[in-house]
Amino acid sequence: MESQHELLYETPHVHLVRRNGWTYATRPAVRGIVTIVAVTDERELVLVEQRRDAVDGVVVEMPAGLVGDEPGHEDESLETAARRELLEETGFECEQMIRLGRGTTSPGITDDTLTVFHARGLRRVGEGGGVDNERIDVRVVALGELDEWLRERERDGVLVDLKIHAGLRMAGITTR
């Protein structure tokens, strides 16, 4: 049985709550979070860059998104959400969307738990960029050049999301 938590402060997209004396942030009305390791047949990794106000800067990440938070999408499966987010953010469709696993990101401060998918058989059908207020830049990077490219982005002041590295290992994709 789940322990109860106490609501401390409520905003439309984030609640601050406390359980057993421990304070953390949670997203109401979200049934899951998906992130996608998207690799083309030419061994390129599809990444996204966007401003993240929490870190007051631009972050490069795997495409990702919330499940169940949009009207009309309340009942979608994790796989359907992963396909939708990949298309919305990057403009890519895929033949296979394979579930790799699930894990926490920062369990000291958030209950965010991500399901990681591997998208294969990619086909570019649009520009991506996100929906509504999202302003997402798509980056398609050759795997053999990925680590050097990430170092360059860092020199330019862009933060790298650690889930890029996690996803690659979970998908068994080597870059060297």
Does 45 participate in binding a second copy (rule CB under 8 A)? no
- Retrieve residue 41's tokens: 């047949």
Closest CB to a second copy among 6 and 121?
A: 6
Spell out, one character per residue from 55 to 94, where the chain touches a second copy: x when CB under 8 A holds, - when not.
xx--x-x---------------------------------
Does 118 participate in binding a second copy (rule CB under 8 A)? no
Closest CB to a second copy among 25 and 87?
A: 25
Report yes or no: 91 and 106 within 8 Å, Cβ to Cβ.
no
3-state secondary structure 21-65: CEEEEECCCCCEEEEEEEECCCCEEEEEEEEEHHHCEEEEECCEE
Does 96 participate in binding a second copy (rule CB under 8 A)? no
What's the closest the beta carbon of residue 137 comes to a second copy, in angstroms?
15
